[in-house]
Amino acid sequence: MTCKPQLMSKFLSGLTIALGGGAGFVAINLYKGNEKFYNSFVMPVLHATFDGESAHRLAINMAKYSLLPDFYSKMKDYKNLKSSLWTLEFNHPIGLAAGFDKDGEAVPGLSKLGFSFIEVGSVTPNPQSGNEKPRVFRLKNDEAIINRYGFNSAGHEAVRENLTKSLSNLKPTVVGLNLGKNKASVDSVDDYVAGLEAFGNSKFIDYFVINISSPNTPGLRNIQLKNHLEPFLDKILQTKAKLKITKPLLLKISPDLSEKEKEDIAELVIKSRPNGLKIDGLVVTNTTVSRPDLKSPEASETGGLSGQPLKNLSTQMIRDMHFLTKGSIPIIGAGGVSDGKDAYEKLRAGASLIQLYTALTYRGPSLVSTIVDELSHLISEDGFSSIEEIIGIDAEKATK
């Protein structure tokens, strides 16, 4: 896709026409990130002018060329939001979820929005183009997205080059990498192994995520998951040990798992293995294939649903997984977070860190700094002095 110059000029001229020619005014406010200007003007124009995928591409290109406003340098230093996990330091718990910067093109630009970590990917071994367009749908009345991108990826080699190009001078934030599998692959485990081989010792990557969405064979699911997952995890952990990769490896799970599947995953994740091999954390959750009450006409599209309608489902999964793993491994919570209260709820449910994606596309670039500020206030209003004190305090209560 090479639509950048056209899109950019279409975008700017759209704005300019709407403002009666004040291009300088537009440019200055775009760049300064005037919050009101974005929320009442830029985001609506963006949504009216572009379909979901083009708007996404435009945002990536703006980030790539460092055209996004700088909220990072204006953010306060919130002492009660700092944490250290594994061997990484986080200024606050809000990160960007996988799927936004799939090809690792725009980490420095995106970090200007204030994220304390950014997850690149999913990246597949070989390049693949994904499903046919349209494949991204905005559900405006639900503040949600349905996507069936089908994992378009530039592939390991191109993503390695992209990361080297963009991060060699300065790596501004913690960077995770979400490893994917090619559609044509026979055994997914080989693709994750290839991912670890390609990126395991990259100085640009701080943690890894692999996906264990459940096999879509109704009826067979419960029996299969455990039999399938155990050798799968063993193989990945052995590869990691063989390659002497000490960075954390997390599993990302679907919100559509059955009770039995959750229990099985929890059991395998906390199981002790020889040589201290273990999974270091969970990302909870991916998008859902379920369709809770939705108001938008696009609700019937096939694909993974994210945003507001996913929020409580994912928060409940965080509670469950925190409880089932006895709080013994860190959880990155994702699903429908759009304000400080949402983030606070997920931390109390058992998440140590938070990721978001969909809300950014609705609320614009000031979102992270707003959430972080709200979260810091909520924590101190309730008499706590650090996020460590609140992680999981709602989990047991809810599960008993």
Ligand X SMILES: *[C@@H]1O[C@H](CO)[C@@H](O)[C@H](O)[C@H]1NC(C)=O
Ligand Y SMILES: Cc1cc2nc3c(=O)[nH]c(=O)nc-3n(C[C@H](O)[C@H](O)[C@H](O)COP(=O)(O)O)c2cc1C
User: In the set 29, 80, 173, 286, which binds ligand X (CB under 6 A)?
Assistant: 286
Q: Is the omega angle on the peptide bond into residue 49 within 30 degrees of 0, that is, cis?
A: no
The 10 Å Cβ neighbour count of residue 295 is: 11
Q: Does 335 bind ligand Y (CB under 6 A)?
A: yes
What whole-number distance in Å separates Cα of residue 244 and Cα of residue 237?
10
Minimal distance in Å, beta carbon 256 to ligand X? 7
The 10 Å Cβ neighbour count of residue 359 is: 23
Q: 365: alpha, beta or left, given left = phi > 0 and alpha = psi -120 to 50?
A: alpha
> At a CB cut-off of 8 Å and minimum separation 6, what does 278 contact?
237, 269, 270, 271, 272, 329
- Told to judge if 129 belongs to the known catalytic residues of this protein, a careful annotator would answer no
User: In the set 116, 286, 366, 376, which binds ligand Y (CB under 6 A)?
Assistant: 286
SS3 label, residue 121: strand
Window of 18-26, 70-78, 330-338, 368-376 that interacts with ligand Y by CB under 6 A: 330-338
Question: Distance of alpha carbon 68 from its chain centroid, rounded?
Answer: 19
Q: Which is nearer to ligand Y, 73 or 216 (CB)?
A: 216
Tokens of 143: 């503040």
Tokens of 367: 């979102």
Backbone phi and psi for residue 178, each to the nearest 5 degrees, phi listed first: -95, 115
Q: Does 333 bind ligand X (CB under 6 A)?
A: no
Minimal distance in Å, beta carbon 89 to ligand X? 26
Nearest to 54 by CA among 153, 110, 133, 127: 133
Query: Catalytic one among 111, 116, 166, 214?
Result: 214
Could you say which of ligand Y, ligand X, none residue 64 binds, taking C-beta under 5 to 8 angstroms by partner kind?
Answer: ligand X
Q: Does 180 bind ligand X (CB under 6 A)?
A: yes
Minimal distance in Å, beta carbon 126 to ligand X? 12
Q: 33: alpha, beta or left, given left = phi > 0 and alpha = psi -120 to 50?
A: left
Q: Does 205 bind ligand X (CB under 6 A)?
A: no
Q: Which is nearer to ligand X, 173 or 287 (CB)?
A: 287
Q: Does 80 bind ligand X (CB under 6 A)?
A: no
Binding track, positions 97-116, relative to ligand X; x by CB under 6 A? ------x-x-----------
Backbone phi and psi for residue 8, each to the nearest 5 degrees, phi listed first: -60, -45
Amino acid 198 reads A
Q: Which is nearer to ligand X, 19 or 158 (CB)?
A: 158
Q: Which is nearer to ligand Y, 80 or 306 (CB)?
A: 306
Q: Which is nearer to ligand Y, 227 or 290 (CB)?
A: 290
Q: Which is nearer to ligand Y, 37 or 303 (CB)?
A: 303
Q: Does 287 bind ligand Y (CB under 6 A)?
A: yes
Strands 83-85 and 88-90: antiparallel
SS3 label, residue 153: strand
Minimal distance in Å, beta carbon 371 to ligand Y? 11
> At a CB cut-off of 8 Å and minimum separation 6, what does 27 contact?
12
Minimal distance in Å, beta carbon 150 to ligand X? 8
Residue 250: C-alpha distances to residues 176, 177, 253, 314, 393 (Å): 10, 10, 10, 17, 22
Q: Does 307 bind ligand X (CB under 6 A)?
A: no
Binding track, positions 84-123, relative to ligand Y; x by CB under 6 A? -------------xxx--x------------------xx-
Minimal distance in Å, beta carbon 179 to ligand Y? 9
Q: Does 8 bind ligand X (CB under 6 A)?
A: no
The 10 Å Cβ neighbour count of residue 197 is: 15
Bridge partners, 278 (sequence order): none
Minimal distance in Å, beta carbon 208 to ligand Y? 12
Look at the block and give the residue holding tokens 């670890």: 196
Binding region for ligand X (CB under 6 A):
64, 103, 105, 122, 151, 154, 158, 162, 165-166, 180-181, 188, 211, 213, 252, 254, 286-289, 304, 312, 345
Binding region for ligand Y (CB under 6 A):
97-99, 102, 121-122, 136, 145, 147, 149, 151, 178, 211, 252, 286-287, 306-307, 310, 334-337, 356-359
* Residues designated as active site: 214
